[in-house]
Structure 1
Amino acid sequence: MLKKERKIPIKILKLEALLRRLPANHVRRKYIEEELARSYSGYRGEQALDYYVAQIPGKDHLIFQDLRLPFSKDYFFQIDLLLLTQRHFLILEAKNIAGTIFIDQNQLVRTIDDAKASYPNPIHQAENQQYHFGNLIQNHTNLILPNTSFVVMTNSNSIIKPNPDYRAVAQKVIGPPVIRPRVSRFYSEYQKDIIEKKELQKLSRQLIKMHTPSDPHIIEQFQIEKNEILPGVFCEECEQRTIIRLQRRWRCTQCGKVDDIRFIHALVDYCLLMGPSITNQQCRSFLQLTSSSISSKLLRSLHLPYTGEYKNRAYHLSIKELQKWL
C-alpha cells in the first residue's frame, strides 16, 4: 500500500525558476545548470525504484517514497524508498551513476573514459538510514524491527566492478531487476509479527506528519542578489517575458497571444525564489504593472490569505494553492 507518493523535489522547481529568471550571460548560470542536471538525475533514479517495487508481491507492506525525517532538532535523514511491515522494514537507496563503479570502505569511484570521480560510500549511507530509522521506531513503539537495506544502481550504463576485499558490495549493491527477489527473500526470513496492525497504522501517520521536505534557499546558495532576478510574465508561445497587462487582459507584445493566467506562473516563480510573502508594491514591480490598484485587484482575486492592513498588507503565497488556478 502506497502511503507516501514521490513528488518532484522543490529544489528542482526552484532551480528551473532561477534559470528562467537569470540573464543568459550570468556568471553563475553554468553552475546552476549543472546542479539542476544532478538533481534531475537523482530524481529519475529514485523514480526507477518505484516501478520495480510495484512488482513485489504482497499487499501488507507500506510504501513510503522520498521520506525525510528528523533524527535531532536540526538534522534530518532522507530515505529514497522505505518498505515497512508489521515484521520488518527495508530501505532502498537509489544511485543513478553511469560508468564503471568500484566501491571500497571509504568511497565510490566512478570511471568514464579514463576520467575518475569519487562519491561517498552509498552502502554506509543506506546503513546510516537504517540506524536512524530503527532508532525512530524504537523511540515511538519501544520495539526493534529486523531490517536491511540495498543500494540500487539505477543507471543502465553502470557496471559494478567486483571488490573481493569488500564483500558488502556483492551483498548490498544491486540492479533494479533484482529488487523483487532480494526483497522477497528478506521477507521470507521474518514471518512473525512484531508490531500490531493498529500500531503500524499509527506509526505510518506519525511518519507522514514528521516528513519535512528539503526546501533550500536557492538564490542564497548560489549567491544571487534579488535585484538580479528578472521580473515580468513569460509568454508560453514565445518563451520571453513579453506578456503585459493591457485593457484588463494579459497579452503578448510579440505574438499577440492572450493568456489571463500566465501571471500566476510568475507569482509561482516569485514564491519559489523570493519567498512566500508578497506586498502590493512587490507584486506591481515583479509583474511590471502600471498601477498599484491593478496589482491589488489581482492579488485579491486569488483569495490569498494576508496579514496587515493597507500599505502594510502582505499576501501569503503557496505553490499548492497557486497551482489550483492553473
Structure 2
Amino acid sequence: MISIISRFFPQSYIELSRLLMRLEPTHPSKKDFEKKFYQIEAGYFGEKLVDNTLLEVKFPPHCCTLTDVHLKIHDHLIIQMDTLIITKKYLLVIEVKNIVGTMTFQKHSGQTIRTLDGVKTPFECPIAQINRHIQALEQMKLPLPIFKAIVFSSNRVILENIPMDEPIFFRKNLPSFIQDLNQKEDRINTSQFNELIRRIQSTQHVVQRKPLCDRWRISPDSLIKGLLCKVCGNILKKISNKTWKCTKCELIDRNPIDHNIDDYFFLVKDTITTAECKDFFHLSSTHEAYYMLKKSNLSRLNFARKSVYQKNIEV
C-alpha cells in the first residue's frame, strides 16, 4: 500500500493567486483570471481526491507514484501527466478530470463537449490527450507495458458516448482497475526498477515561466503596489523595523519581505533594482529598498552604475 502521495499546488495556481491579490478590481480581464484560477484550483482538488482513492489500493512491494510529472522526451516534445505509477509489472498514466455537467465524447473529432445549464462548451478530448502521453513514453523505449486511465473525480458529471475500448470511469472504479493490473507478472527485477525510476526522474523538466505581466500583456501599472498582507491582500503598515501590521485584518507580519518579493518576480520581471524595489513597494527611501533586497534570498549582479538582483537558481 502507498502510505502518502505528495502533490503540491501548481506554480500557476500560486502565481494567479498573487496576481488576483494585486490586480486592480476594475481591470477588464480580472474576471477571466478569476475563472482560470478556479479551473486550476478545481483540477488540483480533483487530483487530490484521486490521490486519496489510490491510498485504498494494495500495490506490489516495489511501486513509485509520481505526481504533476513534466517529462522532456526531446527538444520539441514535453509532456505533463497528472499521475504516473511505476511498478515492476507496468506503467500507468492517470489523467484526472474534475468537471461537472454532461460530457459527450467525440473521439473522431478529438473533442469532448460539456453541456451545463444549457450551454455547450468544447474541451480537448482527454482520449487524444492521454494517447499523446502514451505515444511520447513509447519513444523512450521503456521496459514495461504502458496502461492508461481517464478518471473523473466528481460525481456531478454524466458521461455520454464513451468509447467501449477506452478506460474511462469514475474514481471509485479506479482501485478495481489497478488491482487487475497488479495481477500481472513482473517484467523487470529490483535493480532494473530502481534504474527505471532514476531514468524517468532524470528526464523531468523544470518549466521556465515568464512573469505574468509579460506572458499576458498586463501593464505593471495595473497592479496594486506596496507591501501587502499575505492573508487578505491589504496594505501593511510599518510598526517598527521588524514588525508590520495589516490595515484591515490586523495580522502582525514579522517577515513581509519574502512573499512580497515573490510577487514582483511572479508578476513583473525576473530581475529587480533598488530603484524598482523602492517604487513597487512604496518604500520611504533607497536605503530601505537596499535593506529589503539584502534580506531577500537573491543573487546580486554588479554593473557599472547599478546592482541588479535576481532569484537564486535552485539546482
Scaled to the shorter chain, the TM-score interval is 0.7 to 0.9
Of the three residues 74, 83, 86, the one matched with 2:85 is 83
Compared with structure 1, are the counterparts of its residues 3 and 64 closer, same or farther at alpha carbon in structure 2 (3 Å cutoff)?
farther
- Root-mean-square deviation (CA, aligned residues, Å) is 2.6
Q: How far apart, CA to CA, are the structure 2 residues paired with 1:6 and 1:42?
A: 12
Structure 2: any 5+ residue segments left out of the alignment?
A: none
Partner amino acid for 1:179? L
Compared with structure 1, are the counterparts of its residues 299 and 161 closer, same or farther at alpha carbon in structure 2 (3 Å cutoff)?
same
Q: How far apart, CA to CA, are the structure 1 residues paired with 2:304 and 2:255?
A: 26
Aligned-residue identity in percent: 20
Question: Equivalent residue of 1:305, what SS?
Answer: strand
Matches within 5 A, 1:168-317: 168=165, 171-188=166-183, 190-193=184-187, 195-217=188-210, 218-235=212-229, 239-241=233-235, 243-245=236-238, 248-252=241-245, 254=247, 258-302=252-296, 304-308=298-302, 311-317=305-311
Matched positions, count: 308
Partner amino acid for 1:103? F
What does the per-residue CA deviation read over 1:157-199, in whole Å, with 9 as the maximum and x for residues that have no partner? Answer: 0112245xx323xx411111111110111221x3032x33223
Structure 1: any 5+ residue segments left out of the alignment?
A: 321-326
Conserved in 2, the CA contact under 8 Å of 1:11 and 1:216?
A: no
What does the per-residue CA deviation read over 1:217-270, in whole Å, with 9 as the maximum and x for residues that have no partner? Answer: 3223432022322210123576422x2446524444846765331232211211
- Determine the structure 1 residue equivalent to 2:67: 65
More helix, by proportion: 1
Compared with structure 1, are the counterparts of its residues 2 and 280 closer, same or farther at alpha carbon in structure 2 (3 Å cutoff)?
farther
Question: Equivalent residue of 1:71, what SS?
Answer: strand
> 203-212 or 67-76: which moved more?
203-212
Q: How far apart, CA to CA, are the structure 2 residues paired with 1:103 and 1:41?
A: 21
Q: How far apart, CA to CA, are the structure 2 residues paired with 1:2 and 1:210?
A: 25
Question: Equivalent residue of 1:307, what SS?
Answer: strand
Q: Does 1:155 align with 2:154?
A: yes
Q: How far apart, CA to CA, are the structure 1 residues paired with 2:305 and 2:277?
A: 13
- Determine the structure 2 residue equivalent to 1:324: none
What does the per-residue CA deviation read over 1:51-73, in whole Å, with 9 as the maximum and x for residues that have no partner? Answer: 11122102322111110111221
Partner amino acid for 1:186? L
Compared with structure 1, are the counterparts of its residues 277 and 55 closer, same or farther at alpha carbon in structure 2 (3 Å cutoff)?
same
Partner amino acid for 2:190? K
Partner amino acid for 1:204? I
TM-score, normalization: structure 2?
Answer: 0.87
- Determine the structure 1 residue equivalent to 2:145: 146
Partner amino acid for 2:41? Y
Compared with structure 1, are the counterparts of its residues 232 and 310 closer, same or farther at alpha carbon in structure 2 (3 Å cutoff)?
farther
1:202 Cα shift? Answer: 2.6
1:303 Cα shift? Answer: 5.0
- Determine the structure 2 residue equivalent to 1:31: 32
